Structure 1
């Protein structure tokens, strides 16, 4: 739910609105003494002083966002604990969007989105639930302007998601999108240390073996300084292309439609990222990453039964030149469930999911020292999301289990201790 402020400094409009709010009638107004007008004027002045204002009346202003806080209970087989903080999968944020019509069918606008990092869950590990330097920060998630045409599409310039941004996540057509999408497992436990036989494995974290340019998930890129184009939607299809920074480009195709009793949503994309300063494809100098991702959701609308799944891979052409390296990382996932409005408060989504990663190599810049030669990881999860329509709120409970093994630089296979986590929280939108 969004809050839209259409602002006016007209004192007469405020007086009229105030009169209606307190139930004035013409007969009542005639009986008022002289002091009432002074009181009314004082109240109007207070309202004017506390009302948000726009600097440019020609451009609309929409303010939206959400707060997402949760309790995380985890067990790595040796230690268990409970942390509380901001759910980094979809962190709390506030978004400002403006738009002005240039001519019929043409408009210009801007997006400014600020992330609010209270106590970030993606910074936690077994030794501490984050550090003070990670807490209570604001981050600029998006800052861009755009031009849009009904017939020709939209061009965006600035900090924005590339065409491969959330290519898997945004193919989730259910209410698990913000709570357990394709990258949910990687975000939840990425910073925790790996254990084998109760001992830490060379101080490696799950994020060291979960490969991917963005949030440890193959096939997805992040928010970059780019030029992006989104085509008009034709027969359910939308084309997106982006380019920017140090030779980052991508293209994607989205399909969204309802055919009979089935609701369909699908995305597929390909891109390249050779900017080693902003990506984690590998630690090599001169990395050259190729990204591919495809995912989709099909839902039977009358019953609410659905399936959501996808496949993605990263390939580093620089890493492929190193003898013995496994330069291609792949992952696939499947989620199934049912989404129905059994309660008058809102829809309930019940789901189960599975994700498998073949992580490939993670070399250091000199091909020396401890590094991951390969990995095989499995994640099994289940959960419930309950929407509360009157409050624009979602309550969620999610359980996830992870295990697997890695192959180290000495070609030894190390079996990892299982990692379990339960997440309970709420997202309140505004």
Structure 2
């Protein structure tokens, strides 16, 4: 095998096959939002898949990086919950991706220390401003009878003032040489959080390794030959995992496949418990929009022109329209979150409240209970000025339809069609929305 110690271990007899499973680019997608059917991904399904595999194979579980969405307090809390979920699944190493690096060395070290004594973060080419590594550069893990060398790297394009990133190829070659000096390995796998063009270029320069598994490539890449090695990518909100089968007598070559985390994988109970703990933490911390990385529903503007007044202020002049709204799903949007407990999650709140992060709008579940549900201003825009001066229309008065796709996007509402949906809530004077 490329990059091995030179020993042929394919004739060892194992009772079970040995597999390497790699996730990546979870991007905060701890669970599918649930706004539509057939959504993929989520830690509950990932846990179920790994649990099924562990019953019939030796498993090495790794993550290629990119687990969080941003650096806000909300994002950090979710990142910690994702890592705790990964630990429950038996993860061995979590490569540092761009999102992890953006937290900075101190934050990463604090998080790692809170998770236990064993090193979790992997990175051969990242350093802090003092020259200290952000993670261990590599590790040899015994998987069945195989000695698997795992190396992690990050693209230099993600360097920051605090995080320095060296050339990935050199870092990898250094770790291969170090492994050879310390007794060698049977299989070498590189977790490389690099954009696709860089990823493919790196793979072409590394005939010494057996597999390069990437991260932010937009869409997952099923394992494919790249010279003598296998190239693959686990990405897209953790919806796709890469599963490699290590060489054996039955299959003397390293093989792999991409697995989509669909509804066929029932949620693992241990991951549901982890999700419940996370929701409990969110309920206690009651994050405001300013404590997240999510954009406000509208950009800031004049104090009156861009201030939410609340749906109750509409009823005096728009009684019939309000009656239509009260019988629509929009007026019960918050209750749909309560059914799953996700009403505490800012990611879900964005599209189930009125004026997320806007003056006069939704602040948090505890602090603005009168701004839950998708009210009139979610589509028509802040109306405080209109309430004070009825002749001044809200700024979405003639183009409310344009606001639909902010929440009814391809991810959360793939079947959305304005011509089909509008009759369900039709109100007002045609041509003036």
Q: Which has the higher strand share?
A: 1
- Same fold by TM-score, threshold 0.5 exceeded? no
Q: Which has the higher helix share?
A: 2
Structure of higher RCO (CA pairs closer than 8 Å, 6+ residues apart): 2
TM-score bracket for this pair, using the shorter chain length: under 0.3
